[in-house]
Structure 1
Amino acid sequence: MSNNQLKQANLANLPSHIDIPRYDRSQLKAGIVHIGVGGFHRAHQAMYINELLQTPGSEQWAICGIGLLENNRSLRDILVKQDYLYSLVVRHPNGQIDNKIIGSMIDFIFAPDNKQKVIDKLANIDTKIVSLTITEGGYNIDPLTGDLDLDNPDIAHDIAHPNDPKTAFGYIAAALKIRKANNSQAFTVQSCDNIQHNGVVTRKMLLSFTAQLDPELSQWIAQYVAFPNAMVDRITPVTTKDDIDYVAQHFGLTDEWPITCESFAQWVIEDNFSDGRPNWDLAGAQFVTDVTPFEKMKIRLLNAGHSVLGLLGSIHGYGTIDETISDKGFSDYLRAFMDLEVTPLLDELDGINLEQYKDTLIERFSNPNIKDSLVRICSESSAKLPKFIIATVHENLAAGRDCSLAALVIATWCLYSDKQVNQQQEAIDIQDVMGDELAEYAHQTTNHKLSFLKLEGLFGDLMSQAAFSQVYADAIEALYSPTSNIKNIMKNTLENKQHALALETK
């Protein structure tokens, strides 16, 4: 093994500006078993644990990673070679870079090689928390019913073969069955995925799964297992060769899978655990009794803000979030949307100054060191916009408020789905499971301005609400004009809104 390989023995050789673990990793115990060791986990939860471990007294809260999929094999090989260490390159909007080595992971089990070892690790009483970043797809939710998709082949397999699991739920159920049989304390199941009410969703899916598998176990889980909801936030792009080269140059060590992320991180957690928890609040997380208003703030401002920039910027011809928001016309429009159509719907939150939060969002979106592509942002808009933007429209209409800024974004989504080119006539790469259906309804717009709104599964009754349909039709007319220019349309829409508000306040 090379002397310039990232591993425990070589940490002492690192330059002094590299932040390395200042705790004795040989004394750590894996109280957390994490399923789905992707970039976000390594930039978020594992980072919080790393910071907590710098203070003595939390040694029992290190992490054992679990890889369920065959494509996790290379990650396992790299982590083993590197003593489970990896680099975290934190890029600030002003160009400052924080270089860290994260040491909070002390083991990694590759399930395809030894499924029983995973089950035994989860069942071991030292495991207090089983956490998840398995993406929305890993929860196997039926998009039509919101229930567990029992027809999914892997779910069906795990119900039929409980000792040969493939899914996270299969492994968790097998381990909890052992805990129940041994009359042991249940562990907490903690979702760290970017899903609204992620704890509620995880509980619902696991109980549905175990109800099919073992009804008595399902009742035991419902009684004894905690599923805390949490709101997670940190932009973490996919690792590139440039990231690997940066670490080699600035650390003087080879890290085959470093992580780059933005400087902002947020984690708001409901304080509901089965068998103890780390003091994550000492590392910057926030414990609350109800995460709902924090989730609403993030979804309606950050996630919606991404979609506003993504759709409008794509039609103009921009490629990334930072490129789009560096254009004052787009940043002004986004800030007005956040201030005038979202903020009035949000609750006051402990520890959160909404004006500062919005300022921070603009700064984060502007970060030139985090290249977030509009194609990624706009992918699966049919799953995102009902939660991010359309819910805001319905609430504003119910309160008798104008929603013309959001109406233009939705009208732009129609144009985006219909023409599938930007205003330079360059093709737009649309990635959406409903793409064909969206295009079908959008294609009818030239004959019927409101045709896109006929997709009631997405829009509800917006077509029949005159306060919305009129401003939407005006936006469609402007967008479909032969001389259409998205920046001019945004400017006119914003000026009309501000003019109307000025008249109201007189």
Structure 2
Amino acid sequence: MTHLSLATLSSITSAAAPTYTRADLTPGIVHFGVGNFHRAHQAVYLDALFNSGEGHDWAIIGAGTRASDAAMRDVLRQQDWLTSVVEQEAGSSSAHITGVMVDYLEPGDSQSVIAALTNPAIRIVSLTITEGGYYIDPASQKFDPTHPDIAWDAAHFDTPKTAFGLILAGLVKRRDAGIAPFTVMSCDNIPGNGHVTENAIAGLAQLIDPALAEWVKSSVAFPNGMVDRITPATSDREKNLLAEHFGIEDGWPVFCESFKQWVLEDNFPAGRPALEKVGVQFVDDVAPYEHMKIRILNGGHATIAYPAGLLDIHFVHEAMEHPLVSAFLKKVESEEIIPIVPPVPDTDLNAYFALCERRFANPKIGDTIRRLALDGSNRQPKFIIPSALDRVRAGASVTGLALVSALWCRYCYGTTESGAVIEPNDPNWERLTAQAKRAKDDPCAWLEMSDIYGDLAQAPAFVAAFGTCLDFLWANGTRAALEAYLANRL
């Protein structure tokens, strides 16, 4: 067993090691949210570029604002910021080690973070802070300037707590020192993530000084991007697999599929690494790609999450092996989601969905149903409700999507079909559980959450379909509901 560190790197033969020398790297990026997805995606692309001998002035400095960021920092510090990345397919597994991060600033030390952001060498600030980290009102999908975190930063601009407050403080320091602004690049799975990030930072600036907000909008670049790689959470399972199969002791390894995708707008006035040389696709308009991915892939995840959770299925690949769950996914996608996804350049949407099915079925990934079911109050308004609203406006059937929502409601009741307790799995779990209990006898009670359902809650076709589906679920159970839908009896 070899503990991962710079000192032991040369002795590790079971995993590909960086061909570049850490001492040759200089930072060009500050990244907020050094979680599993970042280390399996952005960091992997940069690692490939550095291994080619290019871009060594684009190393990463990590930053974070949450308690979990401190835990990640402590683990990675003990292994010199190195990460083991294990790519898994049904018939193969391979590991490599990335070394693109050269420092990780202590969460809560706002002055150190702002100082790093002021460094002229930093030309990109990137983020993976999850869909729920952008202070978006679920129904309007607009920035919420009344959130207490944002109000704090507006009132304590010298000691901000949020990523947006820190970024804005760094931008102001650079402006005042005559240093060109960095580019702010979201790597989160949000439609129009560049626009959303701009709205958050400019929205905070508006609370401080309207002129500052106008400067942000006119002077700072926020490219949109679509990111994709299935990356489950790390548990003892992954640590033990790494130790058993590769002989490496890593406190927080990343396991992922071999597939990865990154489509990005080329809007980087301060410069960028040559990521096109390692597979990043630069396009004029990301919207068609992200629309496809969010509706088909993420919508697909949401479609299987709740029936599988109610049936006590643990892993995603096990859900895909369940004939009712996999057939439910295929029918909802082929009849209700894919038909309303606009064309994507050089892409066959049905072939893309077939690829998603194969990825979901990968038995090596160990992705969990609980992860897919997490944070539905933030994810449903992005992945499911927009498709249902589009279909209602087109006068098309919404039975399948209404059943997806009904299954989410039933899941939030807090027990599976077997009676097992579902532990809280959403920041708003108490509220969701209370509404789900009311909705057992009155389905419309669930749709009263206008901040989640918006205009869809007023659409008679959806309200009727949802009520029928939820009543059937409570009367007959999840298996019977899936069978009825598949037989066109709902």
Using the size of structure 2 for normalisation, the TM-score is 0.90
Pick which of 439-448 and 275-284 moved more: 439-448
For 1:443-465, what per-residue CA distance to the aligned partner results, in whole angstroms no more than 9, with x for missing partners?
A: 45565565544544444565665
Q: Is the 8 A contact 2:190 2:382 kept in 1?
A: no
In 2, the alpha carbon distance for the partners of 1:163 and 1:465 equals 46
Distance change (3 Å), C-alpha of 1:485 and 1:148: closer
Kindly state the Cα deviation for residue 345 of structure 1 after the two structures are TM-superposed: 0.7
Q: Which residue of 2 aligns with 1:46?
A: 43
Among 178, 189, 192, which residue is 1:194 paired with? Answer: 189
Pick which of 400-409 and 224-233 moved more: 400-409
Q: Which residue of 1 aligns with 2:484?
A: 492
Identity of aligned residues (%): 38
Q: Is the 8 A contact 1:35 1:65 kept in 2?
A: yes
Among 8, 11, 17, which residue is 1:10 paired with? Answer: 8
Kindly state the Cα deviation for residue 358 of structure 1 after the two structures are TM-superposed: 1.0
Distance change (3 Å), C-alpha of 1:471 and 1:36: closer
Kindly state the Cα deviation for residue 151 of structure 1 after the two structures are TM-superposed: 5.0
In the alignment, structure 1 residue 104 sits paired with structure 2 residue 96: no
In the alignment, structure 1 residue 24 sits paired with structure 2 residue 32: no
* AA in 2 matched with 1:348: P
* AA in 1 matched with 2:404: V
Distance change (3 Å), C-alpha of 1:216 and 1:371: same
Q: Which residue of 1 aligns with 2:115?
A: 120
Distance change (3 Å), C-alpha of 1:156 and 1:460: closer
* AA in 2 matched with 1:201: V
Among 408, 412, 415, which residue is 1:421 paired with? Answer: 415
Distance change (3 Å), C-alpha of 1:177 and 1:367: same
Distance change (3 Å), C-alpha of 1:131 and 1:355: same
Q: Which residue of 1 aligns with 2:175?
A: 180
Q: Which residue of 2 aligns with 1:340?
A: 335
**Structure 1 runs not aligned, ≥5 long:** 501-506
Kindly state the Cα deviation for residue 435 of structure 1 after the two structures are TM-superposed: 4.4
Q: Is the 8 A contact 2:145 2:203 kept in 1?
A: no
Q: Is the 8 A contact 1:337 1:405 kept in 2?
A: yes
Using the size of structure 1 for normalisation, the TM-score is 0.87
Q: Which residue of 2 aligns with 1:63?
A: 60
Q: Is the 8 A contact 2:145 2:204 kept in 1?
A: no
Distance change (3 Å), C-alpha of 1:124 and 1:490: same
For 1:150-188, what per-residue CA distance to the aligned partner results, in whole angstroms no more than 9, with x for missing partners?
A: 452x54443344333322223222222222123222110
Kindly state the Cα deviation for residue 143 of structure 1 after the two structures are TM-superposed: 5.3
Pick which of 286-295 and 67-76 moved more: 67-76
Q: Is the 8 A contact 1:138 1:168 kept in 2?
A: no
| RMSD of aligned residue pairs (Cα, Å) | 2.8
Q: Is the 8 A contact 1:90 1:99 kept in 2?
A: yes
Q: Which residue of 1 aligns with 2:236?
A: 241
Distance change (3 Å), C-alpha of 1:464 and 1:12: closer
Q: Which residue of 1 aligns with 2:260?
A: 265
1:110-259 pair list within 5 angstroms: 110-112=106-108, 115-141=110-136, 146-152=142-148, 154-259=149-254
For the residue of structure 2 that corresponds to 1:496, the secondary structure is coil
Q: Is the 8 A contact 2:310 2:415 kept in 1?
A: yes
In 2, the alpha carbon distance for the partners of 1:255 and 1:479 equals 44
Kindly state the Cα deviation for residue 130 of structure 1 after the two structures are TM-superposed: 0.8
For the residue of structure 2 that corresponds to 1:64, the secondary structure is strand
Larger Rg computed on CA atoms: 1
In 2, the alpha carbon distance for the partners of 1:447 and 1:257 equals 45
Kindly state the Cα deviation for residue 303 of structure 1 after the two structures are TM-superposed: 1.6
For the residue of structure 1 that corresponds to 2:122, the secondary structure is coil
For 1:25-70, what per-residue CA distance to the aligned partner results, in whole angstroms no more than 9, with x for missing partners?
A: 3222211111221111111111110011122232222212124445
Kindly state the Cα deviation for residue 133 of structure 1 after the two structures are TM-superposed: 1.7
Q: Which residue of 1 aligns with 2:72?
A: 75
For 1:356-399, what per-residue CA distance to the aligned partner results, in whole angstroms no more than 9, with x for missing partners?
A: 22112112211222333333322332332233222212222322
For 1:447-485, what per-residue CA distance to the aligned partner results, in whole angstroms no more than 9, with x for missing partners?
A: 55655445444445656655445544443443233xx24
Q: Is the 8 A contact 1:173 1:210 kept in 2?
A: yes
In 1, the alpha carbon distance for the partners of 2:434 and 2:185 equals 40
In 2, the alpha carbon distance for the partners of 1:348 and 1:183 equals 44
Kindly state the Cα deviation for residue 341 of structure 1 after the two structures are TM-superposed: 0.8
For 1:262-316, what per-residue CA distance to the aligned partner results, in whole angstroms no more than 9, with x for missing partners?
A: 2222222122122111222222222122222222212211222112111222233
In 1, the alpha carbon distance for the partners of 2:337 and 2:32 equals 35
Q: Is the 8 A contact 2:29 2:60 kept in 1?
A: yes
**Structure 2 runs not aligned, ≥5 long:** none
Distance change (3 Å), C-alpha of 1:436 and 1:244: closer
In 2, the alpha carbon distance for the partners of 1:443 and 1:75 equals 37
